[in-house]
């Protein structure tokens, strides 16, 4: 048995990835993997994605793109299994047990459910409602110690912890109770057009988000068009949400602290600052885009990654399912 702490995280292949996804999720995964302190599992949460109706052809493309982007962003599949959730049936097997231990009231309080129900009013399906029980299964299957997620997933993680404790109390110690790992810098990148909203790929205004695969000239244009206030100083403060967001993007891609950024740009205007932000973001995205293009030429390699990943994931996940099924009193097959 490995002595290392275990990490599990996932992203849905529900569309093209944004800079927010990169800064708030993927980039931290890569950093955590590099420390060598953790055994990491990275999942493409494709079963979660179908809680919203997908066009099959686009869905397949998004899923392969996301897989290639995981690797292009620096995840090493030799070190950290990368797999599709749908390739490891244990997720669904444990998900049912979790669903039977989740209260309707708990699910009704989930803000993501309320938001998505509003957005997809003609398809408020049961899967959208029980989504958090599947997510709990994803995490508990691997006895994960840490779950790196953006701030918006915190409520789901709290529920996962409650479900782990509930099960452990009812049936004896079974699950590790996982901790959230939320990065301080870049936990939330906001829309470039409305800094009160998070940067989101489902924004109807495409100037609000930067996609990892946006052509570089477009990335630069989007940053130059980003809303700022009528002042001119590069600093944090009341009414400076737009500038502050650009500062946190700059901080995320350069590693500079907010204080260092303020000092570096004293006496310089928004124009100059935006140019610096655009260049720094472009520099981050260029190598990712190049690696992505290379990977997409090598489908066999991508297939090998997800097959090997699913094999390693299933080995651990199946053991948890067997234990859980036994504990709840199901007859062993
Ligand atoms: P949607 O736009 O459909 O709501 P999304 O862009 O929020 O999707 P998710 O698949 O829900 O993407 O999120 C993937 C991961 O990226 C999660 O860990 C989430 O917290 C993180 N994330 C998403 N948007 C941001 C953001 N703007 N800033 C920081 N992290 C983000
Ligand atoms: N709900 C998450 C994706 C997700 C996930 C998980 C994240 C599904 N299962 C398990 C961490 C751990 C999202 O939409 N970002």
> Judging by beta carbons within 10 Å of its beta carbon (0-12, 13-18, 19+), is residue 166 exposed, middle or buried?
middle
Supply the residue whose CA is at minimum distance from atom 9 of ligand 2: 135
Q: Residue 211: what pLDDT?
A: 97
Q: Residue 161: what pLDDT?
A: 98
Whether the CB-CB separation of 182 and 151 falls below 8 Å is answered with: yes
Digit-coded pLDDT (tens) for 73-130: 999 999 999 999 999 999 999 999 999 999 999 999 999 999 999 989 999 999 999 9
Q: Residue 2: what pLDDT?
A: 59
Ligand 2 centroid to residue 280 C-alpha, Å: 28
Cα first-last separation, the chain: 26
Taking the C-alpha atoms of residue 168 and residue 117, their distance in angstroms, rounded to an integer, is: 32
> Judging by beta carbons within 10 Å of its beta carbon (0-12, 13-18, 19+), is residue 19 exposed, middle or buried?
buried
Supply the residue whose CA is at minimum distance from atom 23 of ligand 1: 21
Pocket-testing residue among 7, 25, 187, 204, ligand 1, by greatest number of atoms within 8 A of Cβ: 25
Average pLDDT, the chain: 95
Q: Residue 233: what pLDDT?
A: 92
Q: Which atom of ligand 2 is nearest to the CA of 144?
A: 12
Q: List all residues 6 or more positions away from 1 whose beta carbon is below 8 Å from its beta carbon.
A: none
Pocket-testing residue among 110, 153, 179, ligand 2, by greatest number of atoms within 8 A of Cβ: 153
Q: Is the pLDDT of residue 186 over 70?
A: no
Q: Looking up tokens 């090598």, which residue turns up?
A: 298
Q: Is the pLDDT of residue 1 over 60?
A: no
Digit-coded pLDDT (tens) for 305-328: 999 999 999 999 999 999 999 999
Taking the C-alpha atoms of residue 99 and residue 62, their distance in angstroms, rounded to an integer, is: 28
Q: Is the pLDDT of residue 151 over 90?
A: no
What are the distances in angstroms from CA 57 to CA 61, 63, 153, 202, 213? 6, 10, 28, 18, 19
Q: Is 45 in the pocket of ligand 2 (CB under 6 A)?
A: yes
Pocket-testing residue among 13, 22, 65, 150, ligand 1, by greatest number of atoms within 8 A of Cβ: 150
Token duo for residue 104:
């309707």
Closest to 224 (Cα-Cα) out of 269, 291, 175? 269
Closest to 77 (Cα-Cα) out of 288, 307, 290, 305? 305
Supply the residue whose CA is at minimum distance from atom 6 of ligand 1: 200
In which order are the strands placed within the sheet that holds 179-181? 82-84, 38-44, 5-11, 146-148, 179-181
Digit-coded pLDDT (tens) for 200-250: 888 889 999 999 999 999 999 999 999 998 888 999 988 899 999 999 999
Digit-coded pLDDT (tens) for 279-310: 999 999 999 999 999 999 999 999 999 999 99
Residue numbers annotated as active site: 116, 198, 201
Q: Is 147 in the pocket of ligand 2 (CB under 6 A)?
A: yes
Digit-coded pLDDT (tens) for 45-80: 999 999 999 999 999 999 999 999 999 999 999 999
Supply the residue whose CA is at minimum distance from atom 5 of ligand 1: 200
pTM confidence score: 0.93
Question: Which residues' Cβ are closer than 6 Å to ligand 1?
Answer: 11-12, 14, 18, 20-21, 23-25, 149-150, 152-153, 188-189, 198-202
Q: Residue 183: what pLDDT?
A: 75
Supply the residue whose CA is at minimum distance from atom 3 of ligand 1: 202
Supply the residue whose CA is at minimum distance from atom 16 of ligand 1: 21
CA torsion, ordered 295, 29, 199, 247, to nearest 10 deg: -110
Q: Is 149 in the pocket of ligand 2 (CB under 6 A)?
A: yes
DSSP 68-111: HHHHHTT--TTTS-EEEGGG-THHHHHHHHHHTTS-HHHHHT-H
Ligand 1 centroid to residue 302 C-alpha, Å: 24
**Per residue, what are the HEC states of 210-253?**
CECCCCHHHHHHHHHCCCCCCCCCCCCCCCCHHHHHHHHHHHHH
């Amino acid at each position: 048995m490995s002595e290392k702490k275990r990490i599990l995280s996932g992203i849905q292949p529900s569309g093209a990835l944004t800079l927010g996804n990169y800064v708030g999720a993927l980039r931290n995964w890569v950093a955590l993997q590099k420390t060598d302190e953790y055994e990491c599992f990275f999942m493409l949460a494709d079963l979660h994605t179908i809680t919203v109706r997908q066009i099959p052809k686009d869905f397949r493309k998004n899923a392969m793109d996301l897989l290639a982007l995981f690797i292009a962003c620096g995840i090493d599949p030799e070190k950290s299994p990368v797999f599709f959730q749908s390739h490891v049936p244990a997720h669904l097997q444990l998900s049912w047990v979790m669903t039977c231990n989740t209260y309707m009231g708990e699910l009704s309080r989930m803000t993501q459910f309320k938001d998505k129900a509003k957005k997809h009013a003609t398809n408020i399906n049961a899967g959208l409602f029980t989504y958090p029980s599947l997510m709990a299964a994803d995490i508990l299957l691997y006895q994960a110690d840490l779950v790196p997620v953006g701030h918006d997933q915190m409520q789901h993680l709290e529920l996962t912890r409650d479900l782990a404790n509930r099960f452990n109390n009812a049936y004896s110690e079974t699950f590790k109770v996982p901790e959230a790992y939320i990065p301080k810098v870049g936990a939330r990148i906001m829309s470039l057009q409305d800094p009160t909203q998070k940067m989101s790929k489902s924004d109807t205004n495409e100037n609000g988000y930067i996609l990892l695969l946006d052509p570089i000239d477009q990335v630069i244009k989007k940053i130059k068009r980003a809303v700022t206030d009528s002042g001119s100083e590069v600093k944090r403060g009341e009414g400076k949400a737009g500038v502050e967001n650009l500062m946190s993007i700059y901080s995320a891609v350069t590693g500079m602290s907010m204080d260092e950024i303020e000092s570096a740009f004293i006496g310089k205007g928004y124009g100059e600052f935006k140019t610096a932000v655009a260049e720094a973001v472009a520099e981050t995205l260029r190598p990712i885009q190049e690696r992505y293009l290379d990977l997409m030429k090598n489908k066999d390699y991508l297939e090998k990654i997800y097959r090997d990943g699913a094999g390693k994931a299933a080995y651990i996940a199946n053991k948890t399912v067997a234990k859980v099924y036994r504990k709840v009193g199901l007859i062993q097959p």
